[in-house]
Amino acid sequence: MAINTMKRVAAKQAGTRSNKKVAAALLASALLALSPMVAAAPVNYTIDTQGMHASINFKIQHLGYSWLTGRFEKFGGSYVYDADNVANSKVEVEIDTASINSNHAERDKHLRSADFLNVQKYPQARFESRKVSGSDSEMVIDGQLTLNGVTRDVTITAHKIGEGKDPWGGYRSGFSGATELTLADYGITYNLGPASTKVWLELNIEGVRK
């Protein structure tokens, strides 16, 4: 109510330059009074899959000559991030393995089959953190990844990209992380050649404060 009134006042006063400045200052102070400057720690976020400001990409060498990249189209999750103490943070991500997309119908069909992700039997992959350490610029996320029905410890190294208010009344933060998986660890033993036994996962995550 107060903001709306002020906005209206601001609009009316917008005739002269000095009035504009006054209005802007009033509006800004009103907004500041209503919302905290920095999110108080720890904060819960939902990964923004609705606006899709997140991606889970992978890359693997092809024959040792080039990189083949792809991504998972469907996933979701949430995290807690504590700007004051990274150790309070945690993250959970679920991936719909059938949504794998490497931009080639027959390869994707093969990747979904029992030779690789066996999506009929294991439609979901899941990562859950156990311990987060380090700093914003060098986060170490230890956790467990379940893929193809196999659960193993993995470490994701990540860093914060940024955080703050968005233009639509919400509050966001974003991170980028990566890890390297050995396919055989997850029971994926189809022979792609000696250069292609490992896959790099890259996660770009933006969360909206709950």
Partner 1 sequence: MFTNSTQGYGLISVLFHWLLALLIPGLFALGVWMVELDYYSEWYHRAPAIHKAVGVSVVGLMILRWIWLRLNPRVLPLMHADWEHLAAKTVHALLYLGVLLLGTSGYLIATAEGQGVKVFDVFEVPPLSAEALFERQADLAGEIHVYVAYGLMALVVLHVAGALKHHFIDRDATLRRMLGKR
Minimum Å gap between C-beta 147 and partner 1 is 19
Pattern 191-210, partner 1, x by CB under 8 A: xxx-----------------
Closer residue to partner 1, CB minimum distance, 97 or 129 = 97
Minimum Å gap between C-beta 119 and partner 1 is 8
Pattern 90-109, partner 1, x by CB under 8 A: --------x--x-xxxx-xx
Instruction: Give whole-number Cα distances, 8 to 11, 14, 27, 31, in Å.
Output: 5, 10, 10, 14
Binding to partner 1 (CB under 8 A) within 147-176 occurs at: none
Query: DSSP string of 55-116?
Result: EEEEEEEETTTEEEEEEES-EEEEEEE-SS-GGG-EEEEEEEGGGEE-S-HHHHHHHHSTTT
Does residue 4 bind partner 1 (CB under 8 A)?
Answer: no
Contacts of 47 (CB under 8 A, 6+ apart): 54, 75, 76, 77, 78, 79, 93, 205, 206, 207
Closer residue to partner 1, CB minimum distance, 21 or 104 = 104
Does residue 184 bind partner 1 (CB under 8 A)?
Answer: no
- Residues forming contacts to partner 1 in the complex (CB under 8 A) are 98, 101, 103-106, 108-109, 112, 190-193
